[in-house]
Amino acid sequence: MKARRYISAGAVVLALTAAISAEAAQRAQTVRLEPVPLTLAAKVREIGRAALLEEARRPAFPVAGEFNWGQGGAQFGASRGGRSHEGQDVFARTGTPLVAVRRGTVVETGDDGGRGNYVAIFSPDSRRTYVYLHMNEPSRVKRGGRVAAGQRIGSVGCTGSCFGDHLHFEVRRGRGPEGPAESPRPALRRWAKADGARATLPPGAH
């Protein structure tokens, strides 16, 4: 008759503890080697970069403060002594910040003649050049420099040939301020709506 083999309770506990410890160690090792957290982190970084890129490309309304659209003569195409007005005037108080409407490259700056202090920015996203005239002081950005949408580039003024503080804003097709002009008003209205900018400045409040 074979003798029965008995295992003490302590031995059972020790065996179970060892087995559980081994399994836990194996799981821990598996977790450490699992690439999911790294993949997740990479995805988070990618999403972050995409969000920043999208934000950088989102157009901004050029006047960062109270404004109004002025009267009929302020509109694109209005008669100006035998010529057509090639921009849209946006009236605002002296010193109101002006920002780049899109990311791009500064292609021209100056302070000559009727334009007063001005800057022209070409955007590769829209293939358009955005021109700001009559600024209060020379632009903060230099020719050849890059700007981001929403970056401050100057302030509202009345330099050059102008009547009343305002931004004369032009949209030119192609690269440079000499390209064919198109009405800025539709784009300005879209950008104002997206930015929550409203024409609340009373006429003549400059």
Among 83, 153, 91, 75, which Cα is nearest to 114's?
A: 83
- pLDDT at residue 179 tops 90: yes
pLDDT at residue 13, as a whole number = 46
Give 83's pLDDT tier (boundaries 50, 70, 90). confident
The pTM assigned to this predicted structure is 0.74
pLDDT digits (tens, 9 = 90+) for 185-200: 999 999 999 999 999 9
Q: Where are the domains of the chain?
A: 9-57, 72-195
The CA distance from 78 to 86, in Å, is 8
Kindly tell me the sign of the dihedral angle through the C-alpha atoms of 192, 155, 206, 76. Answer: negative
Q: Which fold has domain 72-195?
A: Glucose Permease (Domain IIA) (2.70.70)
